[in-house]
Chain A
Amino acid sequence: MRVAPPTTTPDGTIKDCRRFTGSLSSVTTARRFVAEALVHVPKPLLEAVELMVSELASNCVMHAEAEFEVCIVRSAGALRVEVTDSGSGEPVLKHPDANDLRGRGLVIVKELADDWGVVRRAGQRGKMVWFAVRGT
């Protein structure tokens, strides 16, 4: 896990990023990083954010087994979390019925976030999945 100090842009946005290895334990560590960085956020919202981070980190480790980076972007009243990996796995929003055991991670992000999306860069492996919540 590499640690760099948070950066602040001229518009007051604070960006705080950490890198994690592709190991299973990184799913827990990524969640703890977010929980500690957002200790001021109201508990119901923080619980939702921790859950979404756990789902996205799980996807990185399960499908890509790649290093991943979690960035917390804070501006007035809003919070955005970006989870980036360099793996070749593709995020798929599935519509599992009650008999399916897998494929619920992105469903949870879609339902709990105010907004979310996937960003790919042309010619590069990997992708960034982000979500945003208001009321922080």
Chain B
Amino acid sequence: MDELEGEQTTNLEAAQVSVDQWQEESGAIVVRISGEVDMSNADILRETIDPIAASDVRHLIFDLGGLEFIDSSGLTVLLAAAQKIPQVQLRDPSAIVRRIVEVTGLAEVLPTEP
């Protein structure tokens, strides 16, 4: 970065996502996605979520309370899970996430937990 000294610099940090998973008393599987998801790391999220979606889970909750950013490439991963699992819900989506889900017509497929 020495050659950029004295000029404008931009944060070059790569997008990082982490995924935690547990089962609630109700039997629902909770998958907590934290960090940022864009096209640079959506495949990492997909590799984590796809095996869960391929299991016989009946009810999956995506906990998005720790999500700082997601775009349509990340949404695609959630949608792929929703197509395989009978019941998929979002927990704690931010205002912008709720808005994206609505404007892309996915509110029925990816409803927010009541």
Residues of A participating in the B interface, judged by any CB pair closer than 8 Å: 1, 3, 5, 18, 24-25, 27-29, 31-33, 36, 44, 47-48, 50-51, 54-55, 58, 61-62, 96-99, 101-102, 104-105, 107-108, 111-112
Contacts and interface: CB of A to CB of B under 8 A. Distances in A.
Contact of B100 (A5, A58, A61, A108): A108
Given A28-B15, A101-B79, A54 B71 contact: yes
Interface residues of B, number: 34
Interface string B71-98: 1110110011001000000000011100
A112 B109 CA distance: 21
B8 to A, nearest CB: 6
A53 B74 CA distance: 15
Contacts, number: 86
Dominant secondary structure at the A interface:
helix
Nearest to B15: A28
B99 interface: yes
B90 to A, nearest CB: 15
A51 B67 CA distance: 13
Contact of B76 (A33, A102, A112): A102
Contacts of A27: 38-40
A105 B99 CA distance: 14
A101 B11 CA distance: 30
B10 A108 contact: no
A47 B99 CA distance: 11
B54 interface: no
Given A31-B69, A107-B104, A1 B38 contact: no
A108 B7 contact: no
23 contacts: A3-B4, A28-B13, A28-B14, A28-B15, A28-B38, A28-B40, A29-B12, A32-B10, A32-B12, A51-B69, A54-B39, A54-B71, A55-B71, A55-B72, A58-B72, A61-B39, A96-B105, A98-B79, A99-B83, A101-B79, A108-B103, A108-B104, A111-B103
A32 B8 CA distance: 13
Interface in B12-26: 12-15
